[in-house]
Structure 1
Amino acid sequence: MIATRIFGPEISAASAILRTWAEEFRDRGAEVTVLTTKPPRGAIVNDPPGIEVRRASVKRDRQQYVRGYLSYMSFDLPLAFRLLFSPRADLYVVEPPPTTVGVVRVIAALRRTPYVVRAADYWSEAAEMVTSSSLILGTLRRVESWGLQGAKMLFAAHEPLIDRLREVGVTTPAVPIGFGADTKAFHYDGQTPPKPPVFVYAGTHSEWHGAGIFVNAMHEVVQQYPGARLLFYGNGEEREGIRARARELGIERYVEFHAPIQPAALSPILAGATVSVASLTPVAANEYALATKVYSSLTAGCPVIFAGVGPTVAFLSGHPQAGVAVGYNVGAAAAAMIRAAVSPVQPAERAELARWSASQYSLNAIARRVVDESLAIIGK
């Protein structure tokens, strides 16, 4: 039984990840139930066959996203009763936030059911970007630690995150599973680099992403490439601030904002872009956060410019064919964008990049490892 506030058709990395996990459990003979939310307005539900998806109403923000603790609680409190009165499961699989993990720990104890957690981030430190309340942060740390400690296994993004969890006292067994792309949706179809250049930011643009750096960089780029465009796909608390900054710099006609779109629709946009751009601000929580949008871009044959900190820097430094990492610095970001425009990666190299990425970073391979570990926990 998978408990998650976010699932397809909602557009997010977590949706794609958890769908592949659910499908892998199903393909291995498990009966799979997903307890999730009713989708955003206008979304077309296309649940995977052979998987029971139960949806409940939830509070969404103005951008139709389940974000913030009022929204989380609108999912978590009913979830307690949904779990309590559902047929008993062999295993719970939980997607954060920490409050959801905490609810599952309580019900798991009552029903004597083990649970595992998809641990992509250390939420308590990320929360420091949006609040300075010591009461809120202290409570969140305790709830998060308590929820993670009760799990049988943490499926962590990577080793640096596991190291950080160990530093704060979380001793639960953890497996670094990495990130990947939905290779069914993202692929390269032979597109040529555009002229003038097109830069794509696809995903959430929140405080800790710091995507506004690329608007500032575009102010320099358009001096050399007057027809260049920067396209944002997704949503986030920073959107209006980024839009206002583009107007302030007088480059609003070069910066476009689009709603989130399904991966299959995003793939040709990435494949036809000069490069994609991604960022993480230089704060403590991001030292072990990874920009997951990188993998989807690469699988679509699109190299990446990353500005910021964390494991993405080492990844791109170790795989120069995938793109370039620069510091969180406007001048460095602008210079990288201009270099990409001067010498765009050509179709043959893009096709090879897509093949390499699909072979190395597939969500399906990650799902197989998760299911192997999960079935071992319950002795099946």
Structure 2
Amino acid sequence: MRVTIVSRIYRPEPAAASIYLGAVADELLNQGHAVDVITAAPPRGTQVRSRGERVRTLPVLRDRNGYVRGYIPYMSFDIPLAIRLLFTRRPDVVLMEPPPTTGVVVRTICALRRLPYVYDAADVWSDAAQLEPVSPFVVKVLRALETFALHGATHIVTISQGVMDRLRALGITRAVTLTGFGADTHEFPLSKRSPEPLFVYAGSYSASHGAEILIDAFARFLPTHPDYVLRFIGNGSERHLVEARAGALGIEDRIEYLEPVPPAELLPHLGAAAASLATIKPSTVYEYSYASKAFSSLSAGCPVLFAGSGPTGSLIDAANEHVRAGASCIYDVDSIAAAMAELADNRSTPDQRAALSAWTAQEHSMSAVARRVVAVLTSVVAERG
């Protein structure tokens, strides 16, 4: 079959969605299918490298952090997407990645061309929008766009039971398949670099993450571990809060900020870290989601310190029954500082890191997730004859 993947973000741009969609494309190619990808032109300094799929890029507007985020950047992708998708070689099925505005375009064009599409609902965007400083009217409009796109999908795939339950609560009656989420073990193999006095936060940090609490915890941790550094790699709407908090506590010289990097460049940072950090702020509409950055860290053999609500804590706790995966705790300064101290004072050995990487590859491989997604795409095409 011929599959068209539509997403504003794709490899090599560093993001969970890029890794996920790339894995799906690889699995489709491995099974002998043809893959077209319609995506945004990558950030300056990076280049798309096909692994057999045909990648067609659209020029887009990016924010000051180089990310396609916000209404105008979304429109800069969605408007030319409508034309490209209308005249692209006819696929058997379309797999699309949010935002909901892209979903509206995909539903409209697929209806005109009588094409089935599968919606990747890794989370609920209109829920996440409630955590940003936007008006209730904007949230209401976004909810309408999102439900319009979801209702038109032939099938929906999602990563967690929490998202599935939320979709049902919103009245989405389309078939939903829980595919889970995993680590791309090819992009994040075991890193054999020796750990340093370092914690790494790799990925986005938005209002739903509440990553600023890590600054308070790190300040409490530093007096007994003065040689440690906390390194943020990525971008997010809450960076100014993180920087301001570090300045207020006088520890700005122990905090580092790096721009997003491809997986190959992130891997050495994970290898050097005593642990990677991940947070999801509790008591928000977003706490049913995974902190997807945890999977990449586990795959590289780097323990994870997770603080907050949601299924990520249960993942770490379950993994600790088999390997040394890290620590999970409540979203509390003292608890996070104590977990930092425990991980710093008892760093994982090379053998423990190797065991963690091997366990992750066996239990939470992105390849297994990709196979489930391809099975859904194949069933959608088969049902349409």
Q: Which residue number in structure 1 is paired with residue 5 of structure 2? A: 2
Q: CA deviation at 1:47?
A: 2.4
Partners of 1:46 and 1:206 in 2: how far apart?
29
Partners of 1:128 and 1:202 in 2: how far apart?
24
AA aligned to 2:333 is V
Q: CA deviation at 1:228?
A: 0.8
Q: Which residue number in structure 2 is paired with residue 193 of structure 1? A: 195
Query: Does residue 1:154 correspond to 2:143, yes or no?
Result: no
Q: Indicate which of 165, 168, 180 corresponds to 1:178.
A: 180
Q: Which residue number in structure 2 is paired with residue 96 of structure 1? A: 98
Q: Indicate which of 151, 156, 170 corresponds to 1:168.
A: 170
Secondary structure of the 1:315 match is: helix
Partners of 2:203 and 2:381 in 1: how far apart?
35
Partners of 1:184 and 1:231 in 2: how far apart?
24
1:1-380 matches, cutoff 5 A = 1-48=4-51, 50-194=52-196, 197-320=197-320, 321-379=324-382
Secondary structure of the 2:186 match is: coil
Q: Deviations over 1:185-213 (max 9, x none)?
A: 2122444433xx21110001112111111
Partners of 1:347 and 1:78 in 2: how far apart?
49
Contact 2:61-2:68 at 8 Å conserved across structures: yes
| Number of equivalent positions | 377
Q: CA deviation at 1:238?
A: 1.6
Q: Unaligned stretches of 5+ in structure 2?
A: none
Q: Deviations over 1:122-180 (max 9, x none)?
A: 11110001134222111111111121111111110111110111011011111111111
AA aligned to 1:356 is W
Contact 1:191-1:347 at 8 Å conserved across structures: no
Q: Deviations over 1:280-321 (max 9, x none)?
A: 111432221110111111111111111111111221222223
Contact 2:234-2:260 at 8 Å conserved across structures: yes
Secondary structure of the 1:289 match is: coil
Structure 1 runs of 4+ aligned residues shifted over 6 Å read none
Relative to the length of structure 2, the TM-score reads 0.95
Q: Deviations over 1:308-350 (max 9, x none)?
A: 1111122122222322211111111111101111212221111
Partners of 1:344 and 1:198 in 2: how far apart?
11
Q: Deviations over 1:62-105 (max 9, x none)?
A: 01100011111111111111111222211111000111111111
Contact 1:268-1:300 at 8 Å conserved across structures: no
Partners of 2:380 and 2:230 in 1: how far apart?
46
Relative to the length of structure 1, the TM-score reads 0.96
Contact 1:193-1:346 at 8 Å conserved across structures: no
Partners of 1:78 and 1:361 in 2: how far apart?
36
AA aligned to 1:65 is Y
Contact 2:191-2:270 at 8 Å conserved across structures: no
